[in-house]
Amino acid sequence: MPAAVALDRGLISDPALRPIADKIERGDRLSTDDGVALFASPDIVGVGAMANAVNRAKHGDHVLFAANQHINPTNICTLRKTCVFCSYARLPKEDGAYRYTLEQVLEEAATANSTLTREFHIVGGLDMKAGLAYYTEMFRALKANFPHVHIKALTAVEIAHIARIDKMSVRETLIALREAGLDTMPGGGAEVFSAGVRATIADKKLAGEQWIAVHREAHQLGIRSNCTMLYGHVETYTDRIAHLSMLRDLQDETGGFLAYIPLAYHPDNNELGHTLHREGTATSGFDDLKNVAIGRLFLDNIDHVKTHWVMVTPFISQTSLHFGVNDMEGTMVREKIYHEAGAHTAQAMTLDAILRLIRGARKVPVERDALYRVLRTFDGDPSPDSVVPAPTASAAA
């Protein structure tokens, strides 16, 4: 159960939030009705104050980040026509389609020997020619060449795809990938679990219950993972809370999730954005902050809530550090997926820019590894007057 947390009640102006504040002060778990009420409330200061208090009770002023490197080995995907929110996927013969050879993966990964990179984050499309052998060969080569780098790879949707094309069970697939070097799994592919929402935005994608089943299997094998929710498209507040409830239930069962990461939908260059007349209109800062704060309050059994600056801008990410967030996306060499969908942020951020961003929020930057173990704390030179930095693309971007 969550710990009891003292709140500054003067910051909460919406009367509908008072019973929720009572629960937080008593250390009671929030109900699904409470979750919906939090989303429905206009009192963003009140919601944020509660999330901030809960976060500070767990993590103080420390904000974690990791030096990671994204590798997207293939954008060829069998669901190209049915995931209507996706801007990244291509059919095999479509302009811009690519599948890296092993040499190309190693070439891209080589940046890790000249930077602080401690984690490869590897995700891509559901490519019929990228099965188990493609990934086990890749992971073995990465471990041989970069033994110090953790491999966080393959969403539940990709794992299920590999299992299907290689005619193996999910469990057998996970064991084979782990033997080849897979350390943890990212949390993508979850979108929103509601069957109705999936029928609209990702009709043929792994169902919510199946996504949960893959992560359960991974956790039972000792493979930790993250979890996500893609918000800001056609889902309702009830859909969001039903999704978070499924994540919370699995965490009660396995304890395998490391972090929750709300992902903002980007409407450019995809069919859904065009249909909804949303192109050029990303999610609002109000909703971005609400999502991290409610994630912190509702998911009382997941230690870390992460902000993804590529999606919501570094400025919203910085502000979210006072709305329940204790973890910030890291240096991210060469992000592709959200830039295809219209993200205008840089594709990488230097260590110095991350430190200034966190310190600018009057927080203490802490570098972590992929399993959230502290590597070093940057507690010198807090630079209280530092201004919000403009993120700069690293030389590698």
Under the rule (CB under 6 A), what is the footprint of ligand SF4? Answer: 77, 79-80, 83, 86, 88-89, 125-126, 157, 205
Closest residue to ligand SF4: CB criterion: 83
What is the sign of the dihedral through the CA atoms of 88, 132, 99 and 72?
positive
Count other Cβ atoms within 10 Å, centred on residue 4.
12
- Of 86 and 333, which has the nearer Cβ to ligand SF4? 86
Minimum distance from residue 270 beta carbon to ligand SF4 (Å): 9
Minimum distance from residue 75 beta carbon to ligand SF4 (Å): 7
- Of 161 and 248, which has the nearer Cβ to ligand SF4? 161
In the numeric block, which tokens belong to residue 57?
A: 């009770």
CB 342 within 8 A of CB 370: no
- Of 157 and 370, which has the nearer Cβ to ligand SF4? 157
Contacts of 250 (CB under 8 A, 6+ apart): 212, 215, 216, 219, 256, 257
Beta-sheet pairing, 327-328 with 257-264? unpaired
What does DSSP assign to residue 129?
A: T
Contacts 24+ apart (CB under 8 A), 362-366: 362/61, 363/61, 363/62, 363/63, 363/321, 364/60, 364/61, 364/62, 364/63, 365/63, 365/65, 366/62, 366/63, 366/64, 366/65
Contacts of 169 (CB under 8 A, 6+ apart): 163
Helix, strand, or coil (residue 41)? coil
- Of 48 and 232, which has the nearer Cβ to ligand SF4? 232
Contacts of 305 (CB under 8 A, 6+ apart): 55, 259, 260, 261, 292, 295, 296, 299, 324, 325, 326, 327
In the numeric block, which tokens belong to residue 37?
A: 């009420």
Minimum distance from residue 209 beta carbon to ligand SF4 (Å): 17
Closest CA to 334 of 317, 321, 346: 346
- Of 262 and 324, which has the nearer Cβ to ligand SF4? 262
- Of 77 and 122, which has the nearer Cβ to ligand SF4? 77
- Of 95 and 385, which has the nearer Cβ to ligand SF4? 95
Minimum distance from residue 341 beta carbon to ligand SF4 (Å): 10
Judged by phi (left if over 0) then psi (alpha if -120 to 50, else beta), residue 96 lies in left
Minimum distance from residue 89 beta carbon to ligand SF4 (Å): 4
- Of 211 and 323, which has the nearer Cβ to ligand SF4? 211
Helix axes 285-298, 309-320, angle to 10 degrees: 70
Minimum distance from residue 88 beta carbon to ligand SF4 (Å): 5
- Of 83 and 105, which has the nearer Cβ to ligand SF4? 83
Helix, strand, or coil (residue 252)? helix
Minimum distance from residue 121 beta carbon to ligand SF4 (Å): 15
Minimum distance from residue 206 beta carbon to ligand SF4 (Å): 9
* CA–CA distance, 74 with 126 (Å, rounded to integer): 8
- Of 79 and 223, which has the nearer Cβ to ligand SF4? 79
Minimum distance from residue 38 beta carbon to ligand SF4 (Å): 28
Minimum distance from residue 90 beta carbon to ligand SF4 (Å): 9
